[in-house]
């Protein structure tokens, strides 16, 4: 009996995809995207961190987030709720009991995402956490600028290899490396481990 052997097929990326997501020449485009998205994040975080009433960070930390969460929970009721029941349960049972911690996480998280994108340091990671925050805000029923930030951030995640070329990643990724390719910092340890075998 003749058996057909199947093997995984490697699909080649298009020239456009390679240019956008791997070619350093596209880095100018990603620099513009990074700076715009990063500015939006750092601006939002800065206003929370420096709020004179201290409702996000400071004496009344958590008050701003409590109002936001309570508003989102109200949107989970009615015939066509804007917030899914499971997410409202998460907000009530996880976020509200720890609202001060989450308030600091949101305020400083927004600043860190903005800084990471502006300086081009761990660009893909910063964009990932930005998308995570956008997703949570969207799940809480707040559209605002979130889709406008989430879409370019997803593209920045895809372009992680060249999005930070005009930034710290140009040197940082070469030093630190990736899980599948050690950088210069870890190269020595790998050679030492191999020589002991």
Instruction: State the pLDDT at residue 11.
Output: 81
pLDDT in tens, 156-187: 999 999 999 999 999 998 898 887 788 888 76
Contact residues for 95 (Cβ-Cβ < 8 A; gap 6+): 65, 69, 102
Same domain, 157 and 179: no
Instruction: State the pLDDT at residue 185.
Output: 81
Across the strands, what pairs with 182?
177
Instruction: State the pLDDT at residue 50.
Output: 95
Same domain, 56 and 129: yes
pLDDT per residue, tens digit, the chain (197 aa), is 555 666 677 788 899 999 999 999 999 999 999 999 999 999 999 999 999 999 999 999 999 999 999 999 999 998 899 999 999 999 999 999 999 999 999 999 999 999 999 999 999 999 999 999 999 999 999 999 999 999 999 999 999 999 999 999 999 988 988 877 888 887 655 554 455 55
Instruction: State the pLDDT at residue 146.
Output: 94
- The two tokens of residue 75 are 């949107």
Instruction: State the pLDDT at residue 180.
Output: 79
- The two tokens of residue 175 are 């030093």
Q: How many domains does the chain have?
A: 2
Same domain, 159 and 73: yes
Residue position matching structure tokens 């995984």 = 8
Range of the domain at 189: 167-197
Instruction: State the pLDDT at residue 4.
Output: 62
b/e string for 116-149 if b means 16 or more Cβ within 10 A?
A: bbbbbbbbbebbbbbbebbebbbbbbbeeebeeb
Q: Give strand ranges (E) for 60-185.
A: 177-178, 181-182
10 located within any domain: no
Instruction: State the pLDDT at residue 179.
Output: 76
Alpha-carbon span 71 to 73, nearest angstrom: 6
Across the strands, what pairs with 181?
178
What is the number of other CB atoms lying within 10 angstroms of the CB of residue 103? 25
Same domain, 180 and 160: no
31 located within any domain: yes
Same domain, 39 and 117: yes
């Amino acid at each position: 009996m003749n058996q057909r052997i199947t093997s995984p097929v490697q699909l080649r990326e298009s020239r456009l995809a390679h240019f956008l997501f791997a070619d350093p020449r596209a880095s100018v485009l990603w620099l513009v995207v990074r700076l715009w998205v990063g500015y939006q994040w750092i601006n939002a975080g800065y206003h929370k961190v420096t709020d004179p009433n201290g409702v996000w960070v400071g004496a009344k930390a958590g008050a701003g987030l409590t109002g936001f969460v309570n508003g989102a929970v109200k949107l989970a009721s009615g015939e066509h709720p804007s917030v899914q029941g499971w997410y409202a349960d998460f907000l009530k049972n996880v976020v509200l009991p720890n609202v001060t911690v989450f308030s600091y996480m949101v305020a400083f998280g927004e600043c860190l995402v903005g800084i990471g994108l502006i300086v081009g340091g761990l660009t893909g990671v910063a964009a990932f956490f930005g998308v995570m925050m956008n997703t949570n805000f969207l799940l809480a029923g707040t559209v605002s600028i979130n889709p406008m930030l989430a879409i370019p951030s997803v593209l920045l995640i895809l372009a992680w290899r060249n999005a930070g070329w005009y930034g710290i990643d140009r040197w940082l990724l070469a030093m630190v490396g990736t899980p599948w390719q050690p950088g210069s910092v870890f190269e020595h340890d790998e050679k030492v481990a191999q020589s002991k075998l």
